Amino acid sequence: MQREALKFLTDYAHALDRHDVERLIDFCLLPTVVMNDHDKLVFMQGEDLAKACRVLVTRLGEANIVKHLPHLIQAIPLSDTLHFLKMRWQLLDANEQVVSTCATSYTLQQVADGSLKIIVAVVNDDQKSLFHFFSKKSEEESID
């Protein structure tokens, strides 16, 4: 599981680095839940997830974040197809300086083709700077 988890996180980081919205959507299995201690966003429809991903990449760009380094802390199989990852993101600017860090855990499901898909992402943003990229307020502001 460790190798699959590292590949998943590395591929996900590359999609974030490239602001590849379509690829980011492909990392998720609907319904997808993104939450922190105070908010829970449930994406039931692909278009809602696509809007959130567009907001995410826009906000990351506005914060001058160009590189996403994943650090896997723990990978636990929960069942034959469900897996839990505990990790920390380092978000870097163009000078490779750390702009922010964020602990995140993912519950993933392995689908028929063998790929892993996010079903739940829990963002433990100790710097209180990252979760707003997914917030409904940010999404509504970007849509208007």
- Amino acid at the residue 95: N
Matching residue, tokens 């307020």:
137
From first to last of its 144 residues, what are the pLDDT tens digits of the chain? Answer: 789 999 999 999 999 999 999 999 999 999 999 988 888 889 999 999 999 999 989 988 888 999 999 999 999 999 999 999 999 999 999 999 998 888 999 999 999 999 999 999 998 865 555 555 555 444 444 333
Residue 105 and residue 85: Cα distance in Å, rounded?
5
Which domains are assigned to the chain? 2-135 (3.10.450.50)
Residue 134 has what pLDDT?
53
DSSP secondary structure, 102-140, as one string: EEEEEEEEE-TTS-EEEEEEEEE-TTS-SGGGG-HHHHH
What confidence score (pLDDT) does residue 75 get? 96
Query: What is the DSSP track for 60-80?
Result: HHHTT--EEEEEEEEEEE-SS
Smallest CA-to-CA distance from 79 within 1, 140, 16, 8 is with 1
Q: Give pTM, 2 decimals.
A: 0.86
Biggest alpha carbon–alpha carbon distance for the chain: 43
For position 126, what pLDDT does the model report?
Answer: 59
Q: Compute CA 44 distance to the chain's CA centroid, rounded to the nearest angstrom.
A: 16
Report the pLDDT value the prediction gives residue 111, as an integer from 0 to 100. 96
Give the pLDDT score at 107.
98
